[in-house]
Amino acid sequence: MGRAAVASERSPLRDRFAAVRSLTLELTDRLSDADASVQSMADASPAKWHLAHTTWFFETFVLRDHVAGYALHDERFPFLFNSYYEAEGRRHARDRRGMVTRPTLDEVRAYRAHVDASVEAAWPTLPAAARELVALGCHHEEQHQELLVTDLLHLFSENPLEPALFPAERKVPVAMPGPIGWIERGEEIVEIGHAGDGPSTGLGTGFAFDCEGPRHRALLSPHGIADRTVTNGEWAAFIADGGYREPRWWLADGWAWVKAGAIGAPLYWEEQGGGWTRFGLDGRRPIDPAAPVTHVSFFEADAYAAWAGARLPTEFEWEAAASAFEAADGNQLDAAGAVEPRPAEGGAAFFGDVWEWTGSAYRPYPGFRPQEGAVGEYNGKFMSGQFVLRGGSCATPRGHVRASYRNFFYPHQRWQFTGVRLAKDL
């Protein structure tokens, strides 16, 4: 039986499972054992942990719970590689994940191979509930792919040698984007959120995380939203104008953060020879003034907006505007290309490049209910103190993001590819 024939027997979900699992390996194939094991800060996790934790998800919720007779690959791994699932028992302290030099990277890869083979072998007999969990596991792993990339970037930035993980791509010079245009809208009731009621087996647009629903009606006030994000060049002007030294642009918590951390530029920026450089997965290079600014915190985004006489969009304004565009077209993560925001090339690029801070606190939609059981601890736990980001970034796997997608981080965090789109009241 030839390869095509086999493929024809495969469901899209089974292909997606294989593709997702494979991309994670590709993203990590240049890593040394140490690169994969070290934890550079409490917010980040070692690459090895991401590799194992995503595997633990499938082993636990698919194999252990739905495949009769499945024996754990290693009885000790659940304690090591569980994360926030309190219902699943004790966990290894989050900020000590970098202590686990054993199992090695190769042993974790073997763990992946074992679980992948077990899922493949069990596929024909997997019940629908298990397949739903496979789909959820794929989306879960895609989230970790992005974290894996940004955590590695942070780790490499902490090495005084500033090594490049990926080779630099040749950059095609791009013209500077023109001035911001505004997409305007009057008062209107819009439908917000994903139509499904929490996670489902659907692929692509059929799937959503629990926090994206329930779909509900929301009232927008008259406003305009920018047709592109803020650029590095514009950000350099903010710095040159004393933006980081002037308290009136800043929220009180943001100003305290600036003072305590002696913050004066986006993360990974450094002034060298009179110009700004940034550190990326291809090493340290001059900033591209035409590219979207990234690695800024909510505090910085909010201060920039105040300085620019604008504000951040609400997540509803963003979703209403983005729904007119196709998520698939953005500059996102795949195995081949560079992981870096690219200069905006005209049009309203709502997807990819940089996550866009909104002015909306991450809170539940009307009618939101956490799912029952361990998997249900998923997103609702984090609904205090964080802000919503929308649109995905250059590190978000292709196909992972959609208009209703809600990412969330604390207002001081900026090691993700986070950027700024402006809005204004009409």
**Which spans of this chain sit near a copy of itself (rule: CB under 8 A)?**
32-38, 40, 48, 76, 79-80, 84, 86-87, 92, 96, 98-105, 155-156, 158-161, 163, 187, 189, 216-219, 221, 223, 247-248, 250-255, 298-299, 302, 311, 359-361, 363-364, 366-367, 377, 381-385, 387, 411, 425
Is the torsion defined by CA of 387, 390, 393, 396 positive or negative? positive
Instruction: With beta carbons less than 8 A apart as the criterion, state whether 422 and 312 touch.
Output: yes
**CB nearer to a copy of itself: pick between 85 and 207:** 85
| Half-sphere exposure at residue 415, Cβ-oriented, CA atoms within 13 angstroms | 20
Alpha-carbon separation of residue 376 from 61, 87, 373 (angstroms): 12, 10, 5
99 vs 121, beta carbon nearer a copy of itself: 99
CB of 202 to a copy of itself, least distance (A): 24
Nearer Cβ to a copy of itself, position 287 or 388? 388
The minimum distance between CB 284 and a copy of itself, in angstroms, equals: 13
Length of the chain: 426
Question: Whose Cβ is closer to a copy of itself: residue 217's or residue 264's?
Answer: 217
- Minimum distance from CB of 33 to a copy of itself (Å)? 4
Nearer to a copy of itself, 223 or 400 (CB): 223
Residues 6+ away with beta carbon under 8 Å from 250? 258, 299, 302, 303, 306
Look at residues 50, 55, 172, 202 and name the one whose alpha carbon lies nearest to residue 118: 55
CB of 400 to a copy of itself, least distance (A): 23
Nearer to a copy of itself, 337 or 385 (CB): 385
The b-or-e profile of 82-106 (16+ CB within 10 A means b, else e) is bbebeebeeebeeeebbebeebebe
Kindly tell me which of 338 and 361 has the beta carbon lying closer to a copy of itself.
361
CB 222, min distance to a copy of itself, A = 8
For 206-245, where are the alpha helices, taking DSSP H only?
232-240
| E strand residue ranges, 193-322 | 216-220, 223-226, 269-272, 275-280, 283-286
User: Which one, 173 or 372, has the nearer CB to a copy of itself?
Assistant: 372
Calpha distance 210→198 (Å, rounded): 4
Provide, rounded to whole angstroms, the least separation between the CB of residue 246 and a copy of itself: 9
* C-alpha distance from residue 322 to each of 220, 348, 351, 367 (Å): 14, 8, 8, 23
If we measure between CA atoms, which residue out of 403, 400, 393 comes closest to residue 352? 393
Shortest distance (Å) from residue 407 CB to a copy of itself: 16
| Smallest separation (angstroms) from a copy of itself to the CB of 104 | 5
